[in-house]
Structure 1
Amino acid sequence: MGGPDVMRDIASLTVARVGSVRSRPDPVLPWIVVDGAGEPVGPVSGFLRNVLACGSSTASCRSYAFDMLRWFRFLAAIEVEWDRAQRSDMRDFVLWLRTSHNPARDRRRRGAPAPGSVNPRTGKPYLREGYAPATINHAISVIAEFYDFHLRNGDGPVVSPVPPRRYRGGRVYAHHNPLEPFGLRRRGPLRQKQPELAPRAVPDEVLADLFAHLDCHRDRALFSMFLTSGARAAELLGMSVSDAHPGDGRIFVRGKGLGGAKQACPASPEAFAWLALYLGDLSQQGHRPEPCEPLWWTRRNPLRPLTYTALRAVLRRINERLATNITIHDLRHTLCLRLVNDPNVSLVDAQQVMRHRHITTTSGYVRPRVDEVIAKLQEHYNRPAAPPVQADGWHYDQSDLDSVFGGR
């Protein structure tokens, strides 16, 4: 059993990939964590049920399940029961995440650019090999919530293995005055430093090449919707036929974290024109979806609703042709930067379009991008220098002398 004075050799620790996260057709608990024998992990299932009961989405349930699976795999490797974990075990878990290989990076194709390198066309770095600091911090928060849940129920350890944050009084900035600046706060124990990422926008020339490589009306309508509505991938793919309103210039998507409520988003006339052509292609294939059916479908028979995996495959093929690393979410960033830089669109208008909860999220796009600053500095360096001033004595204007001493 792990204790506060146990010093493990993290470098030689082998964490077996036993167990998995499985989906099931249960609206109450659609995602569960199973052990190596295929049996549900009871403490995790109870925690995930509570997460959903508190109003979280199924996507959050799935994300929490993967964090718990990673934690239980680590506990099995160090032979510690979940209710006997100590602070030192949590410390070693973070050290293991900082130094271990992320299996999600194994999907990288052969001949791909080096991890962490910067794409010359988009200016965006590729993902690194290991776990990102944001992933580690998310795992720490989920595990802390897991132990707090069992501590409140009286069926867990008396003390959580996750060190508490240094501040008290609930969620940080919960009662912050929006008219005052945010103060600096120290990071909690074991929390990683997260770099302050600048908003990433796709350059105009890369966007032109992207649309030139779209070979069907469906993809042109999809990417036009992404670029002009600011909708997220899951939101746009979850649309039904009745959610598109060309006459009003808007679409309705199921918003993030709103309990299933739909929100209106603007869309450009060009996007609706491509949408009409795409629906015409569906009709020629003999498929006319009903108003309550999904809007986006695959192109090959048998026709099926378009999934996020299939959409990523389309974008991955285009990235390989263009030697870029564009993501769907980059189009959302691009729209927000365009709105913020438009003098006819206020910051509040941009917040409404992007559906940001706080205006501070939208104001983060006001910062100049690195490529814009570099371009301005290049102009500064290439600007010819002003001729030096010749200081060869005092000179007075004759009209000034006439005003002071009288005219001639």
Structure 2
Amino acid sequence: MEQNSAIAGRDLAGLVVTKAGRVVQTSDPTLPWVVLDGAGARIDAADAFLKDLLACGSSAASCRSYAFDLLRWFRFLAAVDVGWERASRAEVRDFVLWLRSSVNPARDRRRAGGPAPGSVNARTGKAHLRAGYAPATINHALSVLAAFYEIHRASGSGPMVSPVPPQSRTGGRLDAHHNPLEPFRPHRRGIYRQKQPDRLPRAVPDDVIDDVFTSLGSHRDRALVGMFLSSGARAAEMLGMTVADAHPGDGRIWVRTKGLGGIKQACPASPEAFGWFALYLGEMADEGLRPGPDEPLWWTRRRPWRPLTYTALRALLNRVNDRIGANISWHDLRHTLCLRLIADPQVSLVDVQQVMRHRWITTTGGYLRPQPDEVIAKVHEHYTRPKPAPQPLDGWDYDPQDLADVFGDA
């Protein structure tokens, strides 16, 4: 009877998943993030998985991201009263259904009177985040759970068969031996995997960029926007810079590139960005803040002085968006730089790959697709272009030999 109930499915519409447990940071470099249950105790199964993840070369940021996915899974299992080691495919299926029909708590921070979830911003043409979980979030959660159960299966500490279906219907990792010089072949999605929209990189319009600079109130903020827009650095890379990582004389900055185990790589930066950067350093000196070469480069503007965090960085851009009526993100500036470089005939695609630090040239090639705004403008130009006048038929006649061949001599 219990098996038939699992096959039929439980009542997910009335399921209450409480926000029990949390993810906390530790001072242990071998396990910087841990998952706590509702009683505040560490979950040993999660600790073992995250340690294995870090031992394979993943970063602390990846550890944090995977920990939140595990926390969501453990909360769901607590709501349905199933232990993680007894979870079956039915629980995975219901977990996906619950994610598809639930509201993402991260969207609860939306203030009253804000734009409707999923609506398109008139200035940027970019859609606001929808209220529920995105298909990419669900697929990422399934990938994390698949890795979690595979590690425990291999070590003998979990079920012998993973409850998470493989990523592809043929089994194994999807595109495991793909040649980066060839296009990806179409394939069937794995069981419970969501259909993800093909999102095009969207550049921030020039008038919006101008309004962003106009609305900024400090040299630090202008230096940040200038650095993001001219270097293509990611937010974590920019916040991880030290004072010694900025080299105005060389026109470059050094950042810890994602996925390279903390190795620093050089990024170009524009003279305008370094100009704002020099004013920012003078601004800090006037306030009595003179960080050393190995100290963080970006600091808060209020006492007590603290290194700038991602939360504060995002709040800065949110205030700018409120003033100018836009919805850009810091990563949008990275897309903007890439599209600008590709549009420059003097910059090759390989050069753009080097600047963006893409591992595969096919990733950079994805920016070659025409932008919707450009296509729409060209089509409207086609509609309004004057049509050529029809040519007169005066003086035109059939060839007598052609008429004779068709109708005969008569």
TM range (shorter): over 0.9
1:325 and 1:182 mapped to 2: Cα distance? 32
Contact 2:169 2:191 in 1 (8 A): no
Q: Gapped runs of 5+ residues in structure 1?
A: 397-408
Q: 1:195 aligns with which of 197, 204, 218?
A: 197
Q: Which amino acid aligns with 2:35?
A: V
What is the CA-CA distance between 1:165 and the residue it aligns to?
3.5
Q: 2:156 aligns with which of 154, 167, 171?
A: 154
Partner of 2:306: 304
Partner of 1:185: 187
SS at match of 1:80: coil
2:389 and 2:71 mapped to 1: Cα distance? 69
* Deviation string, structure 1 residues 194-243 (Cα, Å, up to 9, x no partner): 00001111000000000111111111111000000000011011111110
Contact 1:33 1:69 in 2 (8 A): yes
1:108 and 1:40 mapped to 2: Cα distance? 31
* Deviation string, structure 1 residues 162-188 (Cα, Å, up to 9, x no partner): 112345574332322334332111110
Question: Is it true that 1:378 corresponds to 2:380 in the alignment?
Answer: yes
1:17 and 1:10 mapped to 2: Cα distance? 17
Partner of 2:38: 36
Partner of 1:8: 10
SS at match of 1:21: strand
How do 1:156-235 and structure 2 match up within 5 A? 156-166=158-168, 170-235=172-237
SS at match of 1:10: coil
What is the CA-CA distance between 1:395 and the residue it aligns to?
7.0
Q: TM-score, normalised by structure 1?
A: 0.94
Q: Which amino acid aligns with 2:64?
A: R
How do 1:15-164 and structure 2 match up within 5 A? 15-164=17-166
Contact 2:169 2:189 in 1 (8 A): no
SS at match of 1:177: coil
Partner of 2:405: none
Partner of 2:321: 319
Aligned residues: 396
Contact 1:347 1:363 in 2 (8 A): yes
2:73 and 2:36 mapped to 1: Cα distance? 13
Q: Which amino acid aligns with 2:18?
A: A
What is the CA-CA distance between 1:298 and the residue it aligns to?
1.0
Contact 1:217 1:277 in 2 (8 A): yes
2:34 and 2:197 mapped to 1: Cα distance? 32
Partner of 1:406: none
2:173 and 2:157 mapped to 1: Cα distance? 25
* Deviation string, structure 1 residues 106-134 (Cα, Å, up to 9, x no partner): 01111111100000000000000100000
Q: Gapped runs of 5+ residues in structure 2?
A: 399-410
SS at match of 1:11: coil
What is the CA-CA distance between 1:386 and the residue it aligns to?
1.1
Q: Percent identity?
A: 67
Q: 2:367 aligns with which of 345, 365, 368?
A: 365
What is the CA-CA distance between 1:369 and the residue it aligns to?
0.5
Give the 3 Å change call, closer, same or farther, for CA 143–380 of structure 1 in structure 2.
same
Q: 1:335 aligns with which of 325, 332, 337?
A: 337
How do 1:342-361 and structure 2 match up within 5 A? 342-361=344-363
Contact 2:219 2:279 in 1 (8 A): yes
What is the CA-CA distance between 1:392 and the residue it aligns to?
3.7
Structure 1 outlier segments of 4+, above 4 Å: 1-4, 167-170
Question: Is it true that 1:388 corresponds to 2:382 in the alignment?
Answer: no
Q: Which amino acid aligns with 2:353?
A: Q
What is the CA-CA distance between 1:312 and the residue it aligns to?
1.1
Contact 2:6 2:90 in 1 (8 A): yes
How do 1:217-296 and structure 2 match up within 5 A? 217-296=219-298
What is the CA-CA distance between 1:393 and the residue it aligns to?
4.5
What is the CA-CA distance between 1:391 and the residue it aligns to?
2.6
1:177 and 1:65 mapped to 2: Cα distance? 32
1:23 and 1:194 mapped to 2: Cα distance? 31
What is the CA-CA distance between 1:16 and the residue it aligns to?
1.2
